[in-house]
Structure 1
Amino acid sequence: MKQTHYHTCNLCEAMCGIEIDHMGDEILAIRGDSADPLSRGHICPKGVALQDLHNDPDRLRHPVKRTKDGWVPISWDEALDETARRLHDIQARHGKNSVGMYLGNPTAHNHGALFTLLPLINALGTRQRYSATSADQLPHQLATWQLFGHQALFPIPDIDRTDYFMVIGGNPMASNGSIMTVPDIRGRLKSLQERGGKLVVVDPRRTETARLADEHDFIRPGSDVYLLLALLQVMFEELLVAPGRLTDFLDGQGTLARLVENWTPEKVAEATGMTADRIRKLARDIATAPRAAIYSRVGLTTSAHSTLSAWLVYVINIVTGNLDREGGVMFTKPAFDIVAFGALGGETGSFDRYRSRVHGYPEFGGEFPVTTLADEMLSPGTGQIKAFISHAGNPVLSCPDGNKMDKALSGLEFMVSIDLYINETTRHADIILPPTGQLEHAQFDPIFQAVAVRNVVKFSEPLVEKPEGSLHDWEILLGLATRLGRLKAETRRERFQVEATDRFMRKLTDRGIVDLGLRLGPYGTGGRSMAILKRAGLRSLPKLAWKVLRGKHKGLTLKKVLAQPHGIDLGPLQRALPGRLYTRSQRINLVPPLYFRALQGLPVPKPPKADEMLMIGRRHVRSNNSWLHNSQRLVKGKSRCNILIHPQDAERLGVADGDDLTLRSEVGSITLPAWVSDDIMPGVISIPHGWGHDRKGVQMDVARRAGGASINDVVGTTRVEAVTAMAQLNGIPVQVEAASAAVPEKAAG
């Protein structure tokens, strides 16, 4: 009998509500849920492809072990026992930091995994922790921690009420938003323009978002920091700075004015590729708009000076009075308040508490940047990574210098991957532990509800029951943590704590944690749940965190959320300052010492060398990093893995549309067909991220046949961001030539 199931698509940050017609395990149709209060019936091609992932014959459904004769299935007990035993043995011989761990982007989309990572991290006790953060949004998080006191307290564009929306280095039409959960972005941008508002895009490429814009400005990759400094210089010079009510809890305005006074539009015009007059007009338009929101993403945060750039975007929103203002950028009030919960445990953020072994790179939030990961495996000595755990990540394709990462992974003593596929990274594993698929577990979004353009809450039941003989992510992670804890326990008390934690978590389950979080949240039941936490030992807690969690209790529980399968609308974003600040003084310092020092060393901008082009990435709505290329309906049609190049550059190189181009850098080369278009500024090329699935041993048939090449095979690990040492993935200088004229690498030596 046909049934309709309401779910949330978890393939990107948009959290689109979907309706799934099915008969048991057979999916008949997937469409947008018009009753979902956030997505309002919107769905992109990725949502429909959930059916392909659910039925994918290449998806692993039981643990496998690599042997000399190939991959063989093993039981869950054998897989978890051997994994824990080998990790423990390596740490016993080489020290606790001999085990490394990497978390991919999909980890953030899985609430069960998020809730059980901490027990495993504690059981391992290693400092060698990494994630996609340092190839993505780290500068945003560092800025929110420095300015607002918490690394997860993101100000979100109030896009439904703004009059002026500027996008720098972002493409929400392709991404559906990022650190801005915004399904149906096309409809929202259309509404902005219909009410007389303006959309402005600053990007080296005429992106899908730029095509809808009222104004689009090309900017040279990596020069965002100079544009932002010049915008501020104009605002101060022309007395356009007006923080409004923010002045009551704002410090450092005079210091900021002095820091930017020499960064005039004339000084940065050549470096940015924008005229001084245009920069001045942008500054005036932002400052005089009734309500403005400035938004930036990976084009800006993966560039050479991304730490300064991310901070300056927030600063511009502040000094123009658009922080915590309707139509500006505002803080969410999520039902499951991950910001307040982090503060309860004292986890508001950290930077540079300790440094990595090989390069001396600073930690952020307990993690090192991925730019040192391969070298931590390859460099002998105390603390060398000998064993590795990956969860839902593919660093061979998503981190700089994939060939070096390949080499590093192949030399490990032991590796385990928690993943659905045998991909470019997991093929190196000794054991792969595949969790349930996207429609086989419940879906709740504590992170993306906390960065949504509207306050909403939703919990989706699984489409089908967990298949027999399978485990959810949280069960795998908890199973490993418990086994490691047993092996490491030296006293009766330690053994009791391990077993008690395991029993408590299995009884509570991921659903129980969600329920507890909702009860403790600003719409929850409050008191009784508070008492439970206090009895558990959380007595000395930050007063602000308790205050935020108490909120106005409306009795929200998981049961009440489940009764509304489309989700619950909790209303538009609301003013939250200064009460939402987690700084010790509950004030905002515009110029924290970290940024003051970084600005002192900022070099005078220089144009690129004559024989180099600057490479940037590219996002497509039918793709998502490296892990959706095994869906035929997403990769069908003309290949999208090509080199976007301006007609002037194509003519200079003697190539036409479709001809092969070869890119070279200090670490390698790739060859791809040219896509000649004036949608890219001269001197710049663009290549999509995450392609190139042709490495030996990859068992993803559709992806292998899709072709393409990995942009990270020409991105080195030595080109790092100036302050955090995170990956620089945009504005990479490369040599480009027609493939027919390229000299083979061996002969060139």
Structure 2
Amino acid sequence: MENGTHFRTCHLCEAMCGVAIEVREGHIASIKGDEDDPLSHGHICPKAVALQDLHEDPERLRRPVRRTADGWQEMEWDEAFDLVADRLHSVRKENGRNSIGAYLGNPNVHNHGSLVATMPFLRALGTQNRFSATSNDQLPHMLASLEMFGHQILFPVPDIDRTELFICIGANPMASNGSLMTVPDFRGRLKALKGRGGRMVVVDPRRTETGKLADEFHFIRPGSDALLLMAMVRTLFEENLVNPGHAEPWTKDVDLVRLASLGFTAEAVSEHTGVAAADIRNLARQLATAQRAALYTRMGTSTQAFGGVATWLAYVLNILTGKLDSTGGVMFTQPAVDLIALGGMTGQRGHFARRFSRVKKLPEFGGEYPSSTIADEILTPGEGQIRAFVTVAGNPVLSSPNGGRLDEAFGSLDFMVSVDYYLNETTRHADVILPPTAGLERSHYDLIFSMFAVRNTAKYSPALFDAGKDSRHDWQILLELAHRLEKKRKHGRLPVRAEMGWRAFKQIGPDPILDMMLRTGPYGADIGRVRGVVQPAIDLVMDILPERHPLRGLARLSPLNRHWQDLPKGLSINALKQLPNGVDLGPLRPCMPGRLFTRDGKVNLAPRRYLRDLDRLHALLSAPPANGLLLIGRRHVRSNNSWMHNSRRLVKGKERCTLMMHPQDASRCGLQAGDSAEVASSAGRIVLPVEITDDIMAGVVSVPHGWGHHRDGTRQSVAMAHAGASINDVISDQQTDPLVGTSVLNGQMVNVKVWRSERPRKLA
């Protein structure tokens, strides 16, 4: 790599911050924010600087390894591919296609090469036992988008750069820089919001980094958000504040929502939520009367027992107050590569509950089962029991409920393979580990998070470093395994056309496919000079073909569509290479009803599955509030996933893996600041130091996500020296939202007491 400054997008979280990486003599000399990035404008967080640590980590695997009696042994790539394909095929042949399980971690969605190769690989595996981080994260948002707008990834995004009121419930964008709302430099954008006379209101069980900057803050009891949101809906109807605005012609079933809200008054829910009735009503009034306002919810509301209903109600509130598809409200993006429209055109809009998991009978979503049932499917004997497993860029032992049980499950498998460049708490159970190149060794285009960004932009970056001939990108690994598995299913030989197709796919890679999607998207080919010739033909196609005809879909998606005629044109990989800082494609813009994918072209305000689940919400309201300590997670700006803890820059400083609790609760448990506390549940127990603060609601305790690096057999020395404790070791995998299948990561009951040992505990 030549000396000089190279511009990229940080791939470590959803914020898509632009970075300027200075390279000297083949090594990184500095990493700074890219002042000319059209989305982040020079902002970066500490994670971006740690890109150097992750790239240069001497403990990162660079060649395939296999487990032997004498420890891990390096292998040649062909030998490793043969071994993995042979073992997976053997397990499938002996036990059936569903005897293989697969888990995809969230780094995959930051990697366009992995995204292109994942589906061919999963088809070659042929299993229905697929899992991912989705069910521990954004699944309720995906279901609400599918049910209400007709597409699982058509998310309404707060137009924060133009709003006057931002209501944030169960989210901490100061630490995350947004989630399903890609918003780098949230602090700067909040400052701009307040500078134009706007306000921010935060509702959370903890006064987070975001809550401390709020103009108005309210504590709320974990797991009660659906009651709060339904009471806000009730207030809108009681006070005649319902006004869907310009979306009204495309919105149906408002009366069903009105009936559903009966009984959920602000006064009725106040005790359960811990929020005063007057404050609940005022929240509803503020949202309804502000000309430009957005209500935003995230992990705290979605990963709980009522996450499905709570997320639906958040969408409902934005719609009933006229904030959907409205400037300064919540709007749909128009990305350069429109995977939403592509999926809609091909019928891949999402699906739910077409089948149910073998043991717990949890619903699938988009072909995946909830991750909380992975251990059940491995440990429970019978037809369909998982006997082999594949993980790709994931560490479910630390990121999914009941990590101890997952440890047991993975240790019992006949065979396991991991596509990962770390020997971590999950991959230590693998028989073979296939390490892909690191992020700076491959090209980058953010396909997914461009769809959730608060402004439309596009940016492509070539690989910064040459990974070397004896390395493989993740897309190469996945396609090679898929090819070999397909050949084994066909007794060692594929038809000529199929064989040629696989060879071509493996040769061209993801970038030509990306280039084609850019050129044919709404900002693609510049056809201004020929529009007068071709436009009549396009109009004819749009007029005479059936609504769901593929050609009509192509015409709608292409730059020839009149709807896109005023958008910038000419995007391609070559064009973006000439613009290394990225290109600004403009602010979010109203696009209804054309952006909807429902059968009748209307917003389905009252999907029946949500209405049926309200019996459970009524039962919660009728029961006395829970009496005990409720556990919630938390996030820090220096941490996102467990694999980042092997960076010294990210773990240095004050210990962050602490048990945060209110002074009243600490006193009742006999704990003082710095004491070691035991946190226990039916799933297990953990020990960690106590942090006492008024910033958390009484009756609530908090442990950060992603820690717990004390397990033997890993190869991450920095992480092990700052081990912390895994919150998932005390979160039961038996508790899920029955509507959606999401893991209950917030609101489970735990016991806390002083931890006593014969030997003093050495804190990490």
TM-score, with structure 2 as normaliser = 0.94
* CA distances 1:727-746 after superposition (whole Å, capped 9, x unpaired): 1000111111122499xxxx
Cα offset, 1:526, TM superposition: 8.6
1:249 shift after superposition:
1.1
Aligned mate of 2:675, from 627, 650, 659: 659
> How many angstroms apart in 2 are the aligned matches of 1:599 and 1:541?
39
Alignment partner of 2:597 out of 582, 594, 598: 582
> For the structure 1 residues 165 and 542, does the alpha-carbon distance in structure 2 shift closer, same or farther, using more than 3 Å as the test?
farther
1:273-310 CA-partner distances (Å, limit 9, x unpaired): 01111111111111001111011111111011000011
- Residue 546 of structure 1 deviates from its aligned partner by 4.2
Evaluate the alpha carbon distance shift between residue 15 and residue 407 of structure 1 in structure 2; reply closer, same or farther with a 3 A threshold: same
2:314 equivalent in structure 1:
313
CA distance in 2, matches of 1:257, 1:66: 60
1:719 aligns with 2:735: yes
Do residues 49 (structure 1) and 50 (structure 2) align? Answer: yes
Shift of 1:508: 2.9
One-letter amino acid matched to 2:663: P
The alignment status of 1:519 with 2:528, answered yes or no, reads: no
Aligned to 1:635: 651
Aligned to 1:625: 641
CA distance in 1, matches of 2:288, 2:500: 57
- Does the aligned pair in 2 maintain the 1:524–1:557 contact within 8 Å? yes
| Aligned AA (1:682) | A
Which residue matches 2:506? 506
* CA deviation map 1:414-458 (0-9, x unaligned): 100000100000000000000001110111101001110000000
SS in structure 2 at match of 1:439: helix
Moved more, 46-55 or 22-31: 22-31
Deviations 1:210-267 (A, max 9, x none): 1111011100000000000000000011000000111111110011101102100111
Partners of 1:618 and 1:389 lie apart in 2 by: 28
Deviation at 1:339, TM superposition (A): 0.5
The superposition leaves residues 20-72 of structure 1 with CA deviations (integer Å, 9 ceiling, x where unpaired) of: 11124311000000000000000100000000001101100111011111000
> C-alpha distance in 1, partners of 2:346/2:624?
47
Offset at 1:464? 1.0
Amino acid at match of 1:23: R
Establish whether residue 240 from structure 1 lines up as the match of residue 241 from structure 2: yes
Counterpart CA distance in 1 for 2:550 and 2:66 is: 45
State the distance in 1 between where 2:420 and 2:146 align: 31
1:126 match: secondary structure: coil
| 1-structure distance, mates of 2:262, 2:551 | 39
Could you say which residue in structure 2 is the equivalent of 1:560? 575
Deviations 1:321-343 (A, max 9, x none): 00000000000000001101212
Find the counterpart in structure 2 of residue 673 from structure 1. Answer: 689
| Inter-partner Cα distance in structure 2 for 1:333 and 1:342 | 14
Deviation, 1:521, is 0.8
Q: Which AA in structure 2 matches 1:182? A: V
Residue of structure 2 equivalent to 1:297: 298
What secondary structure, in the 3-state scheme, does the structure 1 residue paired with 2:175 have? helix
Q: What does residue 408 of structure 2 align with?
A: 407
Cα distance in 1 for residues equivalent to 2:558 and 2:3 = 42
For the residue of structure 2 that corresponds to 1:629, the secondary structure is helix
Q: What is aligned with 1:177?
A: 178
Cα distance in 1 for partners of 2:320, 2:677 equals: 45
- Mapped to 1, the partners of 2:678 and 2:142 lie a distance apart of 36
CA-to-aligned-CA distance 1:144-199 (integer Å, 9 cap, x gap):
00000000101100000001001110001101111011101100011001100010
Say whether the 8 Å CA contact 1:162–1:328 is kept in structure 2: yes
The residue number in structure 1 matching 2:382 is: 381
> Aligned pair in 2 of structure 1 residues 497, 647: CA closer, same or farther (>3 Å)?
farther
Q: SS of the residue aligned with 1:4?
A: strand
State how 1:343-354 maps to structure 2 within 5 Å.
343-354=344-355
Paired with 1:353 and 1:542, the residues of 2 have a C-alpha distance of 28
Specify the SS of the correspondent of 2:677. Answer: strand
Name the residue aligned to 1:151.
152
Match of 2:13 in 1: 12
Letter in 1 for 2:40: S
Structure 1 gaps, min length 5? 743-749
Aligned length: 732
Deviation at 1:547, TM superposition (A): 0.9
Tell me whether 1:215 sits opposite 2:224 in the alignment: no
Structure 1 match to 2:288:
287
- What corresponds to 1:461 in structure 2? 462
Q: Please name the residue that 1:746 is paired with.
A: none
Residues 304, 742 of structure 2: 8 Å contact kept: no
C-alpha distance in structure 1 between counterparts of 2:589 and 2:283, whole Å: 27
Letter of the aligned partner of 2:480 in structure 1?
Answer: G
State the Cα deviation string for residues 587-644 of structure 1 (Å, max 9, x = none): 111001111111133223345544x200000100000121100000100112100001
User: 2-side partners of 1:369 and 1:342: how far apart?
Assistant: 22
Displacement after TM superposition at 1:559 (Å): 0.9
Q: Secondary structure of the equivalent of 1:280?
A: helix
SS of aligned partner of 2:660: strand
Q: Identify if the C-alpha distance between structure 1 residues 546 and 662 changes in structure 2 by more than 3 Å, giving closer, same or farther.
A: farther
Distance 1:280 1:424 in 2: 47
Is 2:565 the counterpart of 1:548?
no
Note the C-alpha offset of 1:652. Answer: 1.6
Root-mean-square deviation over aligned CA pairs = 1.8
Q: Name the counterpart of 1:249.
A: 250
- Give how far 1:541 is off: 2.3
Q: Distance in 2 between matches of 1:253 and 1:155?
A: 19
Equivalent residue for 2:365? 364
Q: Separation in 2 of the partners of 1:512 and 1:5? A: 22
Tell me which residue corresponds to 1:98.
99
The correspondence of residues 27-176 of structure 1 with structure 2, limited to 5 A, is: 27-176=28-177
Residues 166 and 609 (structure 1), Cα distance of their counterparts in 2 relative to 1, 3 Å cut = closer
Name the structure 2 match of 1:594.
Answer: 609
Distance 1:738 1:446, change over 3 A: same
Q: Do the aligned partners of 1:270 and 1:607 also contact (CA within 8 Å) in 2?
A: no
Q: Shift of the alpha carbon at 1:503?
A: 2.3
Contact 2:423 2:715 in 1 (8 A): yes
Within 2, Cα distance between the matches of 1:172 and 1:30?
A: 23
SS at 1:219's partner residue?
coil
The TM-score normalised by the length of structure 1 is 0.96
CA distance in 2, matches of 1:707, 1:509: 38
- Are the counterparts in 2 of residues 344 and 542 from structure 1 also a CA contact under 8 Å? no
In structure 1, what is the equivalent of residue 762 of structure 2? none
Aligned equivalents of 1:245 and 1:264: distance in 2? Answer: 28
Q: 1:653 to 1:82 in 2, by over 3 A?
A: same
Deviation at 1:707, TM superposition (A): 2.4
CA positional deviation for 1:491: 9.7
Name 1:475's counterpart in structure 2. 476
Query: Secondary structure of 1:193's partner?
Result: helix
Deviation at 1:506, TM superposition (A): 2.8
Aligned amino acid, residue 541 of structure 1:
P
Query: SS at 2:595's partner residue?
Result: coil
TM-superposed deviation, 1:542: 7.7
Matching residue of 1:747: none
Equivalent position amino acid for 2:214 in 1: A
In 2 relative to 1, CA 228–469 (structure 1 residues): closer, same or farther, beyond 3 Å?
same
Instruction: Give the letter for the 2:104 counterpart.
Output: L
Deviation at 1:2, TM superposition (A): 3.6
Q: Distance in 1 between matches of 2:320 and 2:380?
A: 46
8 Å contact from structure 2 (residues 3, 26) kept in 1: no
Aligned-partner Cα distance in 2 for 1:148–1:542: 22
